[in-house]
């Protein structure tokens, strides 16, 4: 029984520690979790989703053009003049009142192919809306990554500056001790105090920047105020290179797919415009039921009629030719835009690949620079402690170190974003994000 109580007590302590720590320090979110929050809550995503809804309604509207139309109408008429005397007889010119109802059915049978072309255009319009939705999400999520890395960079720069302040505080302490025993002049102490004051001012600026970056990410993703973010792993570099990467980009990028769909819609628009030159045939059927009081001699109270209507346009002031010319121009424009986009994809892939190579070389150089700067500072710091190096040498070494640390931080996240940009240029950024967010949910 005692063991059981100890187990319960231990479990209670564990639960308290887990949830107590979370309550004090806030929950930690990964980049994938932030992606998920943005896709669920961000207004831009919801606005883009409405575009798909509108295109689906456009499809229903296109189908309505080939579906039968049924119209129900009713009438009620009241007449001022009822009858007139003609000698010994009275002729009823019109009744006192009349009323009736009529049902009309219209079914288009042939419209020059415009109905079918309109349906195909509407279906392709839905696909275009979905591609636009994906492109909107891709742009938004890439911006989320930029803001996320910006917050991490601001926080790490702040941490580096705090270490810098600590080093300068130690330097001031040593300078003050050596000044008291007469090993250095007062100028050394004053310079140490000045450098510390400047570092503290820089620290205040970086604290403000970190707060702004934190708030920016919160507003973009809906993170709680006390939320922390974790360091993401290095993004995966696409396996393809050169021509293979370009080919994959042309096959995978949503903007290329959307452009091809828009080109196909423009082609269907030419077919739709061509239908204006062809006759249209419509089946019409009408059933009516009427009543009047008093009734005229040849009054028919109920009947129906079925017929067909054939319309052939002859002249309308050049409207059809203008619409056909516009449709052909839109198709040619779409074809040229697709060709231009493919060239831009080539440039995007090339530029993103070169940027990643440059970012990798820069990061390697910055890391070496930081390693040398750290070793140099440690050596000069020890020498200054024993009076073997000048004050300016130590301050210069410290400044070189803090700049090198900041350069490494900036180069690290610049390379991360360069990889994501290459993924985006290759058309795999959004699929990768969606796959990872589904796994993290």
For the segment 22-46, what is each residue's pLDDT rounded down to a tens digit?
433 458 999 999 999 998 888 888 8
| Residue 171 maps to a domain | yes
CB–CB of 292/299 below 8 Å?
yes
Per-residue pLDDT tens over the stretch 321-351: 999 999 999 999 999 999 999 999 999 999 9
Lowest mean pLDDT among 11-20, 299-308, 412-421: 11-20
Task: Pick the more confident residue, 403 or 178.
Answer: 403
Report yes or no on 262 lying in a domain.
yes
The pLDDT score that the predictor gives to residue 81 is 61
Three-state SS at 119? helix
380, 105 contact by CB (below 8 A): no
Q: What's the average model confidence in pLDDT over 8-21?
A: 38
Per-residue tokens: 174: 């040593």
| Predicted pLDDT at 386 | 82
pLDDT score at 269 = 93
Residue predicted with more confidence, 169 or 77:
169
Confidence of residue 3 (pLDDT cuts 50, 70, 90): very low
The answer to whether position 12 is within a domain reads: no
127 to 47, 133, 141: CA distances (angstroms)? 16, 10, 21
Mean pLDDT of 371-389: 89
pLDDT score at 19: 36
Please give the backbone phi and psi of residue 195, each rounded to the nearest 5 degrees, phi first. Answer: -65, -40
Kind and range of the H or E run holding 70: strand 69-78
Nearest to 293 by CA among 95, 99, 100: 95
* Backbone CA torsion sign across 430, 434, 436, 437: positive
In a domain, 83, yes or no: no
Asked whether the beta carbons of 344 and 425 are under 8 A apart, the reply is no
**Residue 295 counted as domain residue:** no
Nearest to 96 by CA among 117, 111, 114, 76: 76
Task: Return the pLDDT at 162.
Answer: 96
Decide which of 337 and 391 is more confident: 337
Asked, for residue 348, whether it belongs to a domain, the answer is yes
Strand partners, 105: 70, 285
Residue 411 in this model has a pLDDT that exceeds 80: yes
- pLDDT, residue 46, reads 87
Q: Give me the pLDDT at residue 291, please.
A: 86
User: What is the torsional sign of CA 434, 42, 235, 347?
Assistant: positive
Average pLDDT, the chain: 87
216 Cβ contact partners less than 8 Å away, ≥ 6 residues apart: 147, 150, 151
Among the listed residues 331, 319, 328, the one whose alpha carbon sits nearest the alpha carbon of residue 276: 319
Q: Which residues contact 84 (CB under 8 A, 6 or more apart)?
A: 90, 91, 93
pLDDT bucket at 441, cuts 50 / 70 / 90: low
Instruction: Count the neighbouring beta carbons within 10 Å of the beta carbon of residue 335.
Output: 15
Cβ-proximal residues to 188 (8 Å cutoff; 6+ apart), any chain: 175, 178, 179, 391
- Is the pLDDT at 188 greater than 50? The verdict is yes
Q: If you average pLDDT over each of 299-303, 311-315, 400-404, which comes out highest?
A: 400-404
Predicted confidence band at 240 (pLDDT cuts at 50, 70, 90)?
confident
Locate 407 and state its tokens.
């350069």
268, two tokens: 């269907």
3-state secondary structure of 80: coil
CATH of residue 141? 1.20.1600.10
pTM: 0.81
Structural domain boundaries, residue 344: 27-68+113-278+323-440
Q: What is the DSSP string of 5-18?
A: HHHHHHHHHHHHHH
> What 8-state DSSP symbol labels residue 82?
-
Instruction: Give the whole-angstrom CA distance, residue 62 versus residue 309.
Output: 21
Q: Are 203 and 158 in contact (CB under 8 A)?
A: yes
At residue 40, the pLDDT reads 87
For the beta sheet containing 97-110, the strands, ordered from the edge strand earlier in sequence to the opposite edge, are 69-78, 97-110, 280-293, 302-311
| 274 part of a folded domain | yes
How far is Cα 404 from Cα 368, in angstroms, rounded to an integer? 9
In the chain the first and final C-alpha atoms are separated, in Å, by: 40
φ, ψ dihedrals at 236, nearest 5°: -80, 130
| 117, pLDDT greater than 50 | yes
92 in a structural domain: no
SS3 30: coil
pLDDT of residue 25: 43
- Stretch 280-302: mean pLDDT: 84
Helix pair 319-385, 391-426: axis angle to 10 deg: 150
Number of domains composing the chain: 1
For residue 4, pLDDT beyond 90: no
Residues 272 and 121: beta-carbon distance below 8 Å: yes
Comparison of pLDDT for 297 and 345, the residue scoring more? 345
Report the pLDDT averaged over residues 393-407: 93
Tell me, what's the pLDDT at 82?
A: 56
């Amino acid at each position: 029984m005692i063991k059981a109580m100890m187990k319960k007590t231990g479990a209670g302590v564990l639960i308290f520690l887990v949830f107590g720590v979370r309550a004090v320090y806030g929950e930690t979110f990964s980049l994938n979790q932030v992606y998920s929050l943005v896709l669920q809550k961000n207004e831009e995503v919801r606005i883009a989703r409405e575009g798909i809804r509108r295109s689906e309604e456009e499809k229903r509207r296109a189908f309505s053009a080939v579906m039968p139309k049924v119209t129900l109408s009713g009438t009620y008429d009241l007449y001022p003049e009822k009858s007139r005397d003609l000698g010994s007889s009275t002729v009823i010119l019109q009744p006192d009142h009349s009323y009736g109802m009529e049902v009309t059915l219209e079914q288009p049978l042939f419209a020059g192919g415009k109905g079918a072309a309109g349906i195909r255009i509407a279906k392709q319009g839905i696909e275009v809306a979905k591609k636009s939705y994906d492109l909107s999400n891709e742009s938004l999520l890439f911006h989320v990554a930029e803001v996320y890395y910006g917050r991490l960079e601001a926080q790490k720069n702040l941490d580096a500056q705090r270490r810098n302040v600590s080093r300068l505080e130690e330097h001031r302490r040593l300078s003050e001790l050596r000044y008291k025993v007469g090993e250095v002049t007062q100028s050394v102490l004053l310079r140490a105090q000045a450098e510390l004051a400047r570092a503290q001012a820089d620290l205040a600026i970086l604290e403000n920047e970190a707060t702004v970056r934190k708030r920016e990410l919160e507003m973009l993703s809906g993170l709680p105020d006390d939320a922390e973010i974790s360091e993401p792993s290095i993004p995966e570099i696409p396996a393809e290179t050169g021509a293979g990467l370009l080919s994959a980009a042309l096959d995978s990028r949503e903007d290329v797919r959307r452009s091809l769909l828009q080109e196909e819609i423009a082609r269907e628009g030419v077919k739709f415009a061509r239908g204006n030159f062809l006759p249209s045939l419509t089946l019409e059927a009408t059933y009516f039921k009427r009543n009047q009081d008093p009734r005229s001699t040849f009054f028919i109270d109920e009947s129906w009629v079925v017929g067909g209507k054939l319309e052939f346009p002859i002249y309308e002031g050049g409207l059809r030719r203008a619409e056909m010319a516009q449709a052909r121009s839109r198709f040619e424009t779409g074809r040229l835009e697709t060709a231009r986009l493919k060239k831009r994809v080539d440039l995007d892939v090339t530029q993103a690949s070169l940027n990643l190579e440059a970012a990798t070389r820069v990061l390697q150089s910055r890391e070496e620079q930081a390693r040398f700067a750290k070793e140099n500072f440690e050596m000069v710091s020890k020498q200054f402690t024993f009076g073997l190096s000048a004050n300016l040498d130590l301050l210069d070494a410290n400044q070189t170190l803090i700049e090198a640390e900041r350069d490494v931080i900036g180069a690290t996240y610049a390379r991360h974003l360069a990889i994501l940009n290459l993924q985006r240029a290759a058309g795999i950024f959004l699929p990768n994000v969606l796959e990872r967010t589904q796994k993290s949910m």
